[in-house]
Structure 1
Amino acid sequence: MANKPPVVPSPHDLLWGLTPQQLPADAPAWAHAALARNAPVVVRRAVAEPGWVAVGVRGVAREQRFAMWMPLTLMRRCVRPEAIARAQRWTCHKHLQWPALRALLYLAPQLNGMHLNWGVTGSLGFELASGLTAAHAASDLDLLIRAPQPLSRALAKNLCDLFDHAPCRVDVQVETPQGAVALREWGNGAMRVMLKSNTGPLLISDPWAVQRTAA
């Protein structure tokens, strides 16, 4: 039987396998506490050496974020935003009255009906995937739309109109092979949009083009 190809983590993926013992000497106490409770780390956007991945440790407070590098050999599990969306664990969340959860209940059937490759990120995605408390009643909803092929500006605008009817603020990133752009910026028809790439932000007219103009 052929071996499965190794998983290549992407930004926003959640990875398990890092323990407090692997943290660098300058890691804060809250980062040790987070990994001690089996919290995953979040893949961040940066250029990594072969065999490594750029990650961030999340603490309980919003300002508690610790950037570091993780050897891929430590990775035991990888959960992508799309897998969080497919699992639909928000339907049995104990706080279904939260606006972000009501927004998911409203949006998920419509996004699935449009056959979009979408996922949940941010604090709510972290909580739904890990079972650890990370979101709260005032949390926004952060989504990702995977778009290996160009997403038309017309569709982007229609999606923005859909999200405007959600019961909370919805922040949507469109992931292209080159990096990520804000859906709203792409849908608003700007001549150039900000692309978040592994090497830094870029101003670009076509997020799917290879040729780019540095910001």
Structure 2
Amino acid sequence: MNAHDLLWGMAPDQLPADAPAWAQQVLLAGQPVVVRRAVAGAGRVAVGVRGSQRGERLAAEMPVASIKRRCSPEQLRGEGRAELAALQALHAVTPFMDSLGLSWGPTGGVGYQLATGIAVLHHGSDLDLVLRTPAALTRVDAKALYQALCAAPCRIDLQLETPYGAVALAEWSGASKRVLLKSRHGACLVSDPWSALELSA
């Protein structure tokens, strides 16, 4: 399982003892949790529970044995309600993203709404995307990609998923010598997000 995957099957009694009522209601309603980037215990996966309000987010761990269904960002490519800018943007960038020849898909609110049918987006919502980049993406190519996405109907936040974690396209396409790499072990500044040597240094 990868960060941003949606998982169904977690039960309310698998939440932390001090979990808020809204989180229990989310699971009682059969809604999915999202895989997050963190280390979990044996036989468990780190997940986040998403509520209806922006501030309603809860970190938890889900037993792998409880997973009934999994949905990755790559599986979520529907158009949804065309009047919402974030979904218009997804439709607009799909041909270009497909042309890259790499696995990609929507995450965040867009991915959640497409997977569940629950209206979590609004007219000011951004479009969050993940692009799987097993091989290094040059800064020149990153800048070209960033500029191409700037023409979309809303702001796009694209994360480049490397073998060692994720880095924001906006950062990697910029001028900073070091960028923030987010991995399951935490976040650190690196000059090459595709280098295992930096992480072990």
**In percent, how many aligned pairs have the same letter?**
49
TM-score of the aligned structures, taking structure 1 as reference length: 0.89
User: In the alignment, is residue 32 of structure 1 matched against residue 24 of structure 2?
Assistant: yes
Structure-1 residue corresponding to 2:55: 63
Greater shift after overlay, 187-196 or 56-65?
Answer: 187-196
The 5 Å alignment of 1:72-151 reads 72-84=64-76, 88-90=77-79, 93=80, 95-151=81-137
Q: Deviations over 1:22-50 (max 9, x none)?
A: 22221111011111221100111111222
TM-score of the aligned structures, taking structure 2 as reference length: 0.95
CA–CA distance in 2 between the matches of 1:56 and 1:106?
29
Uncovered stretches (5+) of structure 1, i.e. residues with no partner: 1-8
Uncovered stretches (5+) of structure 2, i.e. residues with no partner: none
CA–CA distance in 2 between the matches of 1:178 and 1:212?
10
Q: Secondary structure at the match of 1:212?
A: helix
CA–CA distance in 2 between the matches of 1:99 and 1:126?
16
Tell me which amino acid in the other structure corresponds to 1:182: A
Tell me which amino acid in the other structure corresponds to 1:191: K
147, 165, 171: which one aligns with 2:157? 171
Tell me which amino acid in the other structure corresponds to 1:205: S
Structure-1 residue corresponding to 2:33: 41
Contact 2:8 2:32 (C-alpha < 8 Å) held by counterparts:
yes
Q: Deviations over 1:58-88 (max 9, x none)?
A: 000010001111110111111111111xxx3
| Backbone CA RMSD of aligned residues | 1.3
CA–CA distance in 2 between the matches of 1:38 and 1:213?
38
Structure-2 residue corresponding to 1:200: 186
Contact 1:153 1:189 (C-alpha < 8 Å) held by counterparts:
no
CA–CA distance in 1 between the matches of 2:155 and 2:45?
30
Q: Secondary structure at the match of 1:54?
A: strand
CA–CA distance in 1 between the matches of 2:87 and 2:67?
29
Tell me which amino acid in the other structure corresponds to 2:126: D
Q: Secondary structure at the match of 1:96?
A: coil
Q: Deviations over 1:68-124 (max 9, x none)?
A: 11110111111111111xxx322xx2x311111111111001111222211100011
